[in-house]
Chains A and B, each alone.
Chain A
Amino acid sequence: MSETVLDVRDIHTTLGGNSIHRGLSLTVARGEVIALIGGSGTGKSVLLREIIGLLKPQAGHIKLFGESVLDSTPAQMNQLRQRFGVLFQDGALFSSLSVEDNVATPLFEHTDLPHPLCRQLARLKLALAGLPADVGIKRPSELSGGMRKRVALARALVLDPELLFLDEPTSGLDPISARAFDTLIRLLADNLGLTVFLVTHDLDTLFSIIDRVIVLADGRVLGSGTVAELKQFDDPWLNDYFSARAREEETLDGN
């Protein structure tokens, strides 16, 4: 369990004159389910985009599976990309393709398998993501927000990645769909041996499925640990963050 899958060292990022990351470092071990939290503007999504190679920080090192993301050639980066899956915030499904072809696209691009076989594997992933069989022939625009997220998850999983990145997986979902999605992520992580790295604002996600939480503040990692450990931290933002939940529970008890 101690193998490091993701290693971020001393990242410095400046965007539009604003210093976002100032010497940020973190590591993720294989099999962990990690949540990245932090106030608005602390650069959570920016960090995610840097890790998956969409943005370059001004300084620092990022290693995925022991290979440097920042020094990779485009060909090497493409090799790396097949080993991780990304779920974008709104799913980012291709609106001109059917749901099934959306999920099968990575297989079309990265394998020599015949297209009918790719579509069969895509349907397996849709079933694993908890979607009914008739969804495959629909268009993304015909689906609800929760279903679109599940399709996007199926697409992120279609190449059986070792590492899964999720950008606010439960944002825009109702509480019931959000909890169901949390459960699904944990179930798949356990069954498929996935490492999961997610950016979230959702306290319920933290309390239900996360092994370890990493907190960003002032361009650095403020701390990391289980939810119980973080509650002991003496930091104004963290106190506010968790007291929001505490108040919620008091209100519930009061009823």
Chain B
Amino acid sequence: MTAAAAHFDATQGVLIASGAWRVDAAAALPRLDGHIVRVLDGTAITQLDTNGAWLLLNAVRPQPDDPLPELRGFQPRHLSLLNLVAEHAATTAARIEPPRAGLLETVGRSSYAVARHISGLVRFIGQLTLELGQLIRKPENWRWRELGAQVSTVFVGAIPIVIGMMFLLGVVFAYLLGSQAQQYGAAITAQLGTMKVNEEIDAITTLGLSPLAVLVIPRILALLIALPLLVFIGDIAGVIGGMLVAQAQLDISTYMFVDRMESVLRLKTLMVGILKGPVFAVFIALIACRMGLSVSRDASSVGAHTTSTVVQSLVAIIILNAIFAVMFVRMDI
């Protein structure tokens, strides 16, 4: 099999191609320096495929609307392949550039997206409230089993992690619990998103069940129940961790630690932490469930929505913390 070669005779305007013209033949094309090819000679071409044919055509006819040069000496099957490619080459030259957005358009589009996102979240909360109302009127539709399963994953499963982390890292509990809840949020989004891709959510709806009642409400309630309990467990683990460090490094006895803690740490502080838990829980679960259900039907969207859940949860925690801070100051706590 001979390698592809091409020779251009500028005086006659003849391009003579030879050898095997395939996708790797691109380097064999001579520079034409703006000369027009009048004749394409393919007598010595031994092999031609669509990629090779396109490379040749593209060289002799930079614009697909230009007339083809005279095709000389081609074997019949090469000629028909060349014609097939020429017929379909119209779309290959015109670069379909995605329209580049200006600054104003970008700002406008992202504002619109944020507005739609917020209105979608509000609508979601509305639907959920409606659904919850119906469930209260018809308690036999409660998904106790699902709620139990969710409490067990989010609460029982998280206890060792929370104890371990808090024990080692002492008192930074709000942040850590926040991140734990976010992890759960990401898990919810990924799980619901995958169900969406597999059309499981559609199947639930088709069976006459409500995805909100079957999937969303048990998850929100589970997080609502679990987070205050996790905060409490984490608090205790954190205190014990701090106590051990104090004794080993600072030579403060356990008795003294507990004694001093009573005067420094008031019950109010503990209650504030436990009170914040369920509020964070509801918002994170809401965001996570909504993002999970709005996944579109492809795999990459699951990843994108999961990331988005983590980011939104973080923003929500920061905003809620700020609101709590203002509230507590006003209430003089």
Residues of A within 8 A of B (CB): 95-96, 107, 111-113, 116-117, 120-121, 123-128, 133-134, 136-137, 139-141, 157-160, 191-193
Q: A120-B58, A124-B54, A140-B298 are in contact. Are A111 and B96 (CB under 8 A)?
A: no
How many Cβ-Cβ contacts under 8 Å join chain A to chain B?
Answer: 74
Main secondary structure, interface of A, reads helix
* A158 and B22 alpha carbons, distance in the complex (Å): 11
For chain B, give the interface size range: 20 to 34
A123 touches B91 (CB 8 A): yes
B308: CB under 8 A from chain A? no
Stretch of B36-44, B80-88, B229-237 contacting A (4+ beta carbons < 8 Å): B80-88
A139 touches B96 (CB 8 A): no
* A18 and B328 alpha carbons, distance in the complex (Å): 69
| Complex interface bits, B59-70 against A, C-beta within 8 A gives 1, otherwise 0 | 000000000000
Of residues 298 through 314 on chain B, the ones whose CB sits less than 8 Å from some CB of chain A are 298-301
Q: A107-B23, A160-B23 are in contact. Are A123 and B51 (CB under 8 A)?
A: no
Residues of B within 8 A of A (CB): 22-24, 26, 49-52, 54, 58, 77, 80-81, 84-85, 88-96, 98, 296-301
Q: A133-B94, A191-B80, A191-B84 are in contact. Are A141 and B23 (CB under 8 A)?
A: no
Shortest Cβ distance from residue B126 to the other chain A in the assembled complex, whole angstroms: 28
Q: Note all chain A residues with C-beta closer than 8 A to B77.
A: 193
B80 touches A137 (CB 8 A): no
Q: Note all chain A residues with C-beta closer than 8 A to B80.
A: 191
B23 touches A123 (CB 8 A): no
Q: A127-B90, A128-B88, A160-B51 are in contact. Are A134 and B300 (CB under 8 A)?
A: no
**Which one of A113, A123, A127, A128 has the greatest number of beta carbons of chain B within 10 Å?**
A123
A96 touches B92 (CB 8 A): no
Q: A125-B50, A128-B50, A128-B84 are in contact. Are A141 and B26 (CB under 8 A)?
A: no
Q: A113-B23, A191-B84 are in contact. Are A124 and B299 (CB under 8 A)?
A: no
* A107 and B24 alpha carbons, distance in the complex (Å): 10
A127 CB contact (under 8 Å) in B92, B298, B300: B92
B26 CB contact (under 8 Å) in A113, A123, A126, A136: A113
A141 touches B301 (CB 8 A): yes
Shortest Cβ distance from residue B51 to the other chain A in the assembled complex, whole angstroms: 5
Q: A160-B50, A191-B84 are in contact. Are A95 and B89 (CB under 8 A)?
A: no
* A192 and B81 alpha carbons, distance in the complex (Å): 7
A137 touches B51 (CB 8 A): no
Q: Note all chain B residues with C-beta closer than 8 A to A137.
A: 96, 98
B297 touches A136 (CB 8 A): no
* A139 and B296 alpha carbons, distance in the complex (Å): 12
* A133 and B94 alpha carbons, distance in the complex (Å): 9
Q: Note all chain A residues with C-beta closer than 8 A to B95.
A: 116
Q: A128-B88, A137-B96 are in contact. List 11 more A-B contacts (CB 8 A).
A: A95-B299, A95-B300, A107-B23, A120-B92, A121-B54, A123-B92, A133-B91, A136-B96, A140-B298, A159-B23, A160-B50
* A14 and B204 alpha carbons, distance in the complex (Å): 37
